[in-house]
Structure 1
Amino acid sequence: MLAQEHHLPVVRTARYYQVGEISASTRRLWVVAHGYGQLAAYFIRHFAPLAATAPDLVVLAPEGLSRFYLQGTNGRIGATWMTREDRLTEINDYVAYLNQLVEVVLPQAAPDVAVTVLGFSQGAATVCRWLTQARFRPVQLVLWAGAFPPDMDFDVATHFLQDLPVTLICGTEDEFITEEDLEQQRHLFRHVGVEPTILRFAGKHTLNAAVLAELNEAQLASRH
């Protein structure tokens, strides 16, 4: 007799990190999603200098629901948003998780709070899938060293990307993204009616403090 696959929804505790104190004075909220094998506690450190100099900014870094040892059975630990195993269920789980997180946090901020969503590496595809089912609209989408998932429904993608500023960021020496990959992303966005802004920096598959500061300053300027 063949085994039958079933699914059972269960209660689970998710972890996220935050820099900045959220209050009615919070006019900008960044939700940043880490890459494969990273932990939110370390990922969010890149954004701490931004919040330290901008009292109206709060940064949230949710962590993927699955953790694992990066090598063998001990040592450093990382997290992942999903794998190819039971992928649709994992996608549904993290979409529900991210929606719940934002629904808890947004009411604590200013009514006109501007939400920027940034995904790094695996986190880029994660936030794109999430935003197609999110119950709010961000003011900006930043995909850093990652890709818009090619398996997305283009009708759905066109709807949620309409009039949404998109920025693609990638190091000039990124080990996983070639110039051709970046150009394919540009064409994909153009196909759904979006002309993305592309930022490059001298570096590899990592975040960059100067570019983060540039994003922050550009957003500040647009709010005034």
Structure 2
Amino acid sequence: MDATKHHIPVARTATYYTLGELNANTKRVWFVLHGYGQLAQPFIKKFESLDDGQTLIVAPEALSRFYLEGSFEKIGASWMTREERELEIDDYVSYLDQVYQRVMQEAKVEDMEINLLGFSQGTATACRWANRGMIRCDRLILWAGHLANGLRDLLNPDRMPSSCYFVYGAQDQFLSKIDLSTYLDKLAEEAPQMKIIPYQGGHAINEHVLKTHFISGESKSRRPEPRPES
């Protein structure tokens, strides 16, 4: 006789980190979602340059933690796996909505710019949250993520912000495993408003790129030349 599978919702304690404060001077909020095997506390440090007294940065941590490299020392987290994927997606969207509600409960959301950035595995998470959740996103930044089935598989065009960016390093060891030119063409087709920002670097948040393109005025984005080999 086969075993019978059951599901039961449970309460658990999740973690998120913030930089800055939400007060009368706050003009913008950034929600930043880390990648596979990362944790929110070191990840949010990459965004310290955004902390200007008028910006709040919020970094939720994925619900599934695990030991890295079999050493039982370093710990990372994952937003989901393919096992029970729809339930895990529902769980993290609900969790992110709760973070959003708690952070923004006293804010005048209509008066603020809300930025949503997903890095690596966090890009798909950001898209699903924007699609299924309650966040009102003015600017969506997808950084170093490979959306295997395309953007429209994750985000309805009706919920896609007018300001969308795809940022990647030319020496990204993960994106080098795919046909990057075809992938960028697909993103441009699915989101004509998408701005592409390439830079010289690997699979990481580049703080200079972040500051140059997303703090110092309008992004100077372009379709890249053929990617140099790393």
Q: Give the TM-score of the pair, scaled to structure 1.
A: 0.89
Seen in structure 2, the aligned counterparts of structure 1 residues 151 and 183 have a Cα distance that, compared at 3 Å, is closer
SS in 2 for 1:142: strand
Hey, what does 1:68 align to over in structure 2? 66
Hey, what does 1:105 align to over in structure 2? 103
| CA distance in 2 between partners of 1:107 and 1:113 (Å) | 13
SS in 2 for 1:218: coil
Instruction: Report the Cα offset of residue 24 of structure 1.
Output: 3.0
Hey, what does 2:215 align to over in structure 1? 216
Mapping for residues 39-188 of structure 1, pairs under 5 Å: 39-51=39-51, 54-72=52-70, 74-111=72-109, 112-148=111-147, 150=149, 157-161=156-160, 164-178=162-176, 181-188=179-186
Seen in structure 2, the aligned counterparts of structure 1 residues 24 and 179 have a Cα distance that, compared at 3 Å, is farther
Letter in 2 for 1:139: D
Letter in 1 for 2:37: G
Seen in structure 2, the aligned counterparts of structure 1 residues 11 and 69 have a Cα distance that, compared at 3 Å, is same
Corresponding pairs, count: 217
| CA distance in 1 between partners of 2:178 and 2:65 (Å) | 32
SS in 2 for 1:104: helix
Seen in structure 2, the aligned counterparts of structure 1 residues 177 and 16 have a Cα distance that, compared at 3 Å, is same
| CA distance in 2 between partners of 1:29 and 1:3 (Å) | 47
- Percent identity among equivalent residues? 40
Instruction: Report the Cα offset of residue 142 of structure 1.
Output: 0.4
Q: Which moved more, 1:37-46 or 1:148-157?
A: 148-157
Q: Which moved more, 1:98-107 or 1:193-202?
A: 193-202
| CA distance in 1 between partners of 2:19 and 2:25 (Å) | 15
CA RMSD of aligned residues (A): 2.2
Q: Which has the higher helix share?
A: 1
| CA distance in 2 between partners of 1:123 and 1:170 (Å) | 14
Q: Give the TM-score of the pair, scaled to structure 2.
A: 0.86
Instruction: Report the Cα offset of residue 28 of structure 1.
Output: 0.2
Contact 2:20–2:57, Cα closer than 8 Å, also in 1: yes
Letter in 1 for 2:138: V
Runs of 4+ in structure 1 over 4 Å off: 151-156
Instruction: Report the Cα offset of residue 46 of structure 1.
Output: 0.5
Contact 1:17–1:41, Cα closer than 8 Å, also in 2: yes
Hey, what does 2:192 align to over in structure 1? 194
